[in-house]
Amino acid sequence: MRILKNLMLFSFCWVSISLFAQSPNVLLAKGNTNVKAPSVELSRKLERKFKRDAARLALRMEADKEELRYQNIIISPGNVESIYQALVTVYQNDETAQSIAKCNVHTFPNPSIDHFNVIFDKNVDWATPLRQGVSETDSDEINELLDEYNLVISKHVQWNSTQDAITIRSKKPLNMAALSNEFYNIEGVAEIDLGVPSIAGNDIKIERMEKGWELEYILQFGSYVDDGKKHVWKYRVSDEGEVTFISETGDPIPTWMKCNEDAIENWLTNKI
């Protein structure tokens, strides 16, 4: 009889321990918004992407105050770091957010933070090295800007019958709308193209809330001409690092577009 009681007590303890160990997954499945997934390490590739996302989101916030071309070329580092920490915190503490990242959901490239195109008279004197196949110019003004902001000429192409274009790239995120203004007064420059796509795409949106941030991750699919279809995840992250899942809305994600690396690789393969 005593042995039977001990067996029953052991069984009860084992079941309790099992339920306790599984409880985070159970709660997560039931939609508990404050349960954290095991923290994952951030890869260097994803770190770079989040830093670019943070810079672009910070720049968008500045654009709400004044046109970007009239603002500083250097993006405010305070907002960038705060937004970056919010993006990393959501990613590292939520399994769904980790899947979203595998679907390459990052900020849509507007505004430009890394490049623009300078369209100029193809016969202008300072473009002689470019015509000879060298990614340099004889313009003191252009060369000084390249040195000051750590820029490179990444491409030189024929734009039309009378004009050529060079692509100026930055090694770190900058306010390209403001920087491009510095090129307008250079001899032979006709216009600047900031290279913002005209179609829709994946995006991240952010809004400052009391003591934290609210983020939207937007997965775009279908036709990009008419904005296509969207699936949206919304989170809130406090300044103390607490992540809260708010909602998941939008069009159903196609079965072939599940947010995992195998599915994305197969999709890209089929597109090539």
181-227 pLDDT per residue, tens: 999 999 999 999 999 988 888 999 999 999 999 999 999 987 655 56
One domain for residues 103 and 212 = yes
Residue 151 has pLDDT above 70, yes or no: yes
Is 18 inside any structural domain? no
pTM given for the model: 0.80
Return the structure tokens found at 199: 């179609």
Residue 24 has pLDDT above 60, yes or no: no
Residue 5 has pLDDT above 50, yes or no: no
One domain for residues 185 and 58 = no
How long, in residues, is the chain?
272
What average pLDDT does the chain have?
A: 84
DSSP state of 242: -
| Structural domain range at position 180 | 115-193
Is 29 inside any structural domain? no
One domain for residues 58 and 180 = no
Instruction: List, in order, residues 6 or more apart from 146 with CB less than 8 Å away.
Output: 152, 153, 168
One domain for residues 203 and 264 = yes
Is 23 inside any structural domain? no
One domain for residues 120 and 189 = yes
One domain for residues 53 and 188 = no
- Domain end position, chosen among 193, 210, 243: 193
One domain for residues 95 and 222 = yes
* pLDDT score, position 198: 83
Is 15 inside any structural domain? no
Exposure string for 162-182, b = 16+ CB within 10 A, e = fewer: ebbbbbbebeebbbbbbbbeb
Q: Between 271 and 183, name the one with better pLDDT.
A: 183
Question: 36-41, long-range: CB within 8 Å, 24+ apart, which pairs?
Answer: 36/93, 36/94, 36/243, 37/93, 37/94, 37/95, 37/98, 39/92, 39/93, 40/91, 40/92, 40/98
Helices (H), the chain: 2-29, 44-63, 77-92, 95-102, 128-131, 140-148, 176-181, 261-271
Residue 101 has pLDDT above 70, yes or no: yes
One domain for residues 186 and 124 = yes
Q: Between 3 and 198, name the one with better pLDDT.
A: 198
Return the percentage of the chain with pLDDT > 70, whole number. 78
- Domain end position, chosen among 193, 221, 251: 193
Is 9 inside any structural domain? no
DSSP state of 68: G
Query: How many C-beta atoms lie closer than 10 Å to residue 215's C-beta?
Result: 22
Return the structure tokens found at 164: 């050529």
- Domain end position, chosen among 159, 193, 227: 193
Nearest Cα neighbor of 243 from 2, 43, 38 is: 38
Return the structure tokens found at 201: 């795409």
Question: Total domain count for the chain?
Answer: 2
CATH number, residue 180: 3.30.70
Residue 87 has pLDDT above 50, yes or no: yes
Instruction: List, in order, residues 6 or more apart from 57 with CB less than 8 Å away.
Output: 83, 107, 204, 205, 206
Residue 1 has pLDDT above 60, yes or no: no
